[in-house]
Amino acid sequence: MFITVKEIGKTFGSLTLFEELSFTIPENKKIGLVGDNGSGKSSLFKLLLGIEFPSSGTIIRKKGLKIGYLEQLPVALPNQTVYQVIEQSVPTFIKMKTDLTSMECELATETDEDKMASLLLKYGKLQEEFIEIGGYELDYKIQKLATGLGIETLLKATFNQLSGGEQTKVGLIKTLLQNPDLLLLDEPTNHLDLQAIEWLEHYLKEYSGGVIIISHD
């Protein structure tokens, strides 16, 4: 099981969202979560993520489980481009890419042979790690997801100038790019056009991990 939920309850003051709730999430299953507005669906997602904690009961996650969460709209700093917002979802890649670029600049100017040899050794090791995690494929993956959702021409645009639908698509890319074991999608079709919805449906059918979707669609 990815997650086992045992008799959990969640209350906010005098409001009880649910109590004695138990269920399991098997590995790699596709699950739909349907309910009235205000019934606690998004709160349940936050409990599964560990962002919030149950008022009672226990949630057990598989060790090392990687969960991806699509919030309804991503948040960006002023003047951040769409590409920069997407990159934030994979900080390990960005750190390694920055370090490699810095080392390349040092190698271009270093004249001491011993220092050059030591730097080349560090560079080679870091480059191997970068290749192993698919670092050089990152740009291709971003372009592929952006093309699938129809926003490939917006990658250099300022994120905060996008429409709600375009921002939702960016949020989807951020989440899908992480390739998590379990995807939690909260109203993923909100603001999406028909072409993007059809692309997402196909993507999720082929997705090898688990998926839980909150949707009225």
Cα-based distances in Å from 33 to 60, 91, 214? 19, 30, 5
Q: How do residues 117-154 score in pLDDT, each as one tens digit?
A: 999 999 999 999 888 878 788 888 899 999 999 999 99
Average pLDDT of the segment spanning 110-119:
87
From the number of C-beta atoms within 10 Å of its C-beta (0-12, 13-18, 19+), residue 178 rates as: middle
Q: Binning pLDDT at 50, 70 and 90, where does residue 211 land?
A: very high
CB 21 within 8 A of CB 5: yes
Average pLDDT of the segment spanning 197-214:
91
pLDDT at 71 > cutoff 70:
no
Domain ranges in the chain are 3-65, 71-89+138-214, 95-132
pLDDT at 184: 93
pTM, 2 dp = 0.76
pLDDT at 72 > cutoff 70:
no
CATH architecture of 71-89+138-214: 3-Layer(aba) Sandwich (3.40)
Mean pLDDT for the chain overall = 89
Cα-based distances in Å from 99 to 81, 92, 111, 137, 148? 21, 11, 20, 17, 30
pLDDT at 113: 86
What phi and psi, each to the nearest 5 degrees, are found at residue 202? -65, -45
- Taking each helix axis from N to C end, the angle separating 113-132 and 91-109, rounded to the nearest 10 degrees, works out to 160
| Residues pairing with 214 in the sheet | 33, 186
